[in-house]
Amino acid sequence: MPKRLRFPTKLALAVLLALAIPFPAPADPPPWAPAHGWRKKHDPYYVGYTGHKWDKDYGVIGGRCNTEAVGAVLGGAVGGAVGSRVGQGSDRVIATILGTAIGAVVGSKIGRQIDERDRACMGHALELMGDGRPVAWKNAATGVDYRLTPVRGYEVAGAPCRDFTTRARSGGKTETTNGTACRRADGVWEYRK
C-alpha cells in the first residue's frame, strides 16, 4: 500500500505545479484584443495643445517629425500658401509656423536654410507636444538637424502662445535659441520675438 503524502508535501507540489503553468501578466492585453490599434479604433484624432483635432501626428508624439510624410502633405505649396491651406477647417492636415523672422530662431546662417517641412515640423511640435518634450528631425535637403522643445504655454489677448527652445546643428556648428509663437484663429502658429 502506497504511503500517503503529508500536507506540507502536497502544498509544496501544488505550489510547484502552479508556478509551472504560464499565466499572462496582469498588464498584458488578452490574446483576443491586442493593445496596438486602440487609438485608431477609438480615438482617430490627435488633440492638439489648443484642443483642435488632427488626423495625423507625423511622428511628433513619438519625438521624431517624419519629414517625408510632411513633405508629401505639403506638396508644392510654399510660404503663405501652406498656412492658408493648413488653416482652413477640415482641409487642415498639419500645423505650421509662419513669420518672416522664423530664421532668427536658429541664427542667421542656419536660419536661412529653414524650409516648409521644417516650418511644418515646428508648428506640429508646438501643436501636439507637451512642455519639456522635444521633437527632433533632420532636413535631408539642407543637412540641418533640428530639435524643438516647447517650454511653456500661456495666452496673450486670448490667443494661445508657447515659448520654445530650438537647437539646430549643421556642419559641426550648433545654435540654440529661444522663441515664442502664438496660434492664430485660422490654426497657424506665428513666430513672434
Name the band, by pLDDT with cuts 50, 70 and 90, for residue 1: very low
pLDDT tens sequence across 92-105: 467 777 665 565 55
Q: Residues near 58 by Cβ (< 8 Å), separated by ≥ 6? A: 65, 66, 69, 70, 73, 94, 120, 121, 124
pLDDT greater than 50 at residue 9:
yes
The answer to whether the CB of 90 falls within 8 A of the CB of 187 is no
The pTM of this model reads: 0.66
Name the band, by pLDDT with cuts 50, 70 and 90, for residue 161: very high
Most confident of 42-46, 71-75, 88-92: 71-75
Name the band, by pLDDT with cuts 50, 70 and 90, for residue 57: confident
Arithmetic mean of pLDDT over the chain: 75
What grid cell was written down for 160? 494661445
Q: How far apart are CA 110 and CA 129, in angstroms?
A: 24
What grid cell was written down for 44? 482617430
Q: How far apart are CA 96 and CA 75, in angstroms?
A: 14
Q: How far apart are CA 190 and CA 193, in angstroms?
A: 10
pLDDT greater than 50 at residue 83:
no
